[in-house]
Amino acid sequence: MVDIEPDCGRTEGGWRCTVTLRDPDSISTHDVRVSDDDAARLAAATTDGEVERLLYETFDFLLERESKEQILSAFDLSVVSRYFPEYEHEIQSRLAP
């Protein structure tokens, strides 16, 4: 079991987030940039809390497919769908009201 702890702050044009992943053996941190466009398209997100939920679900999605050590240490959210074409549809389903 991996604990997912996103922490996001507003920047010009989007958010910069640090996501900490903890399991009993180790901790990893990931720097993720989220553009306003990606936040709106994927999650209708406009607040830090909504973007943190988007990142929580994104990392849950990633951890279902790879280990925390395989997740890039820094990336822009838009690259996830390059590696996993089903990402956008899946994340929108997870975040649907």
pLDDT digits (tens, 9 = 90+) for 31-65: 999 999 999 999 999 999 999 999 999 999 999 99
Give me the pLDDT at residue 87, please. 98
User: Is residue 50 classed exposed, middle or buried when 0-12, 13-18 and 19+ CB atoms within 10 A define those classes?
Assistant: middle
Beta-carbon count within 10 A of 53 CB: 17
Spatial CA neighbour of 33 closest among 80, 63, 75, 79: 75
pTM: 0.95
Length of the chain: 97
Judged against a pLDDT cut of 80, whether residue 97 lies above it is answered with no
Judged against a pLDDT cut of 90, whether residue 3 lies above it is answered with yes
